[in-house]
Amino acid sequence: MSSFGPTVSASWLAEHLYDDDLVVVDSRWSLNDGPGRDAYAQAHIATAVFADLDLDLSAPPSVEAGRHPLPTPEAFADSMSRLGIGDSTRVVVYDDAAGLIAARLWWMLDVLDRQVAVLDGGLTAWTGPMATGPSESAPAKFSVTPWPANRVISKLDLAASLGQGVPILDARAPDRYANGGPVDPRPGHVPGAINAPAGANLGDGCFRDADELAAHYEALGADGDDVVAYCGSGVTACADLLGRRLAGLPDARLFVGSWSQWGADETLPTETGAG
């Protein structure tokens, strides 16, 4: 693997924006408004293509699998190929949430051993050239690669691990962790889960430095080599996975279905309150 990533600065991107082997991806999305395709059309980083979180980076939602299940390896390869991302392409992905949404595509490419980085600070940090309307890249060859089983955990395996000492991080905001929100199927969180809000990885609009992040996860009791992260639907939990990578900690596992899958299963236990 290259030393490229897991984040790059706006100054780095400005210097490399027109490199032949680089694709910039706009992954703006919000819980209230969904994919930021309209915002992308109005203004985006020059050369950037748009990845739709709901269509390109997820399978269709369902009660059984949650709001943002992983796409099949074939569907993901098709989406990446269409965006001009090949097996050896370097990818810089950004959002307008300081990287908390962009971390989803970072994680998806990273677990497949592709070269990818999040633009630290997101669109707010960018002062370089902008463009309007769509940007297109020539299709590229992205090989179909299975999602690695050791980087994810299923609902049933997570349920079986309860009480076994595996730290479980809930990346939702404290109020949703404690009591749920309008999009959550039930109030509360996975029993024993530790609240680790995705935003706690940030400081001054960028990811905190390695020492601060390492201290953050140590304080949570989640700095070991067997940790699980989840959120509402498997998106912002990836910011905890990115934060751990920046801290130099072992890679954690993602519970992709997250609370949208767990909470929808009335046979599974829940806890409420701040913990």
CA-angle at 228, arms to 226 and 232, nearest 5°: 175
Other CB atoms closer than 10 Å to residue 37's CB: what's the count?
Answer: 16
Domain termination site, one of 147, 173, 206: 147
So what's the pLDDT on residue 1?
A: 40
Catalytic-residue membership of 231? yes
Cβ(72)–Cβ(59) below 8 Å: yes
- Regarding whether 197 and 158 lie in a shared domain, the answer is yes
- Regarding whether 168 and 62 lie in a shared domain, the answer is no
- Regarding whether 224 and 111 lie in a shared domain, the answer is no
Q: How far apart are CA 58 and CA 65, in angstroms?
A: 11
Q: What letter does residue 150 receive in the DSSP assignment?
A: G
Q: Is residue 63 part of a domain?
A: yes
- Regarding whether 226 and 209 lie in a shared domain, the answer is yes
- Regarding whether 44 and 170 lie in a shared domain, the answer is no
What's the whole-model pTM score? 0.97
Q: Is residue 209 part of a domain?
A: yes
- Regarding whether 107 and 133 lie in a shared domain, the answer is yes
Q: Is residue 275 part of a domain?
A: no
Catalytic residue among 231, 247, 254, 256: 231
The values of phi and psi at residue 159, to 5°, are -60, -40
Domain count within the chain: 2
CA-angle at 190, arms to 184 and 192, nearest 5°: 145
Q: Is residue 71 part of a domain?
A: yes
- Regarding whether 227 and 157 lie in a shared domain, the answer is yes
Residue ranges of E strands in the chain: 7-8, 22-26, 29-30, 34-35, 44-45, 49-50, 90-94, 115-119, 130-131, 168-170, 194-195, 202-203, 206-207, 228-230, 253-254
Question: What are the start-end ranges of the H helices in 89-201?
Answer: 103-110, 155-161, 174-179
The CATH number covering residue 136 comes to: 3.40.250.10
So what's the pLDDT on residue 2?
A: 52
- Regarding whether 27 and 13 lie in a shared domain, the answer is yes
Q: How far apart are CA 109 and CA 7, in angstroms?
A: 13
Q: Is residue 267 part of a domain?
A: no
Q: Is residue 269 part of a domain?
A: no
Instruction: Name which of 56, 57, 90, 82 is nearest 138 in CA terms.
Output: 82
Instruction: Name which of 45, 51, 44 is nearest 17 in CA terms.
Output: 45
Cβ(223)–Cβ(248) below 8 Å: no
Instruction: Name which of 163, 232, 220, 224 is nearest 195 in CA terms.
Output: 220
- Regarding whether 20 and 139 lie in a shared domain, the answer is yes
Domain termination site, one of 124, 147, 170: 147
Q: Is residue 2 part of a domain?
A: no
Q: Is residue 110 part of a domain?
A: yes
- Regarding whether 210 and 190 lie in a shared domain, the answer is yes
Domain, as residue range, for 209:
150-262
- Regarding whether 118 and 230 lie in a shared domain, the answer is no
- Regarding whether 90 and 33 lie in a shared domain, the answer is yes
Domain termination site, one of 147, 167, 188: 147
Collect all residues with Cβ–Cβ distance below 8 Å to 31 and sequence separation of at least 6: 183, 232
Q: What is the mean pLDDT of each run of 10 residues along the chain (275 residues)?
A: 84 97 98 97 98 98 98 98 98 98 98 98 98 91 98 98 97 97 96 98 97 98 97 98 98 98 98 90
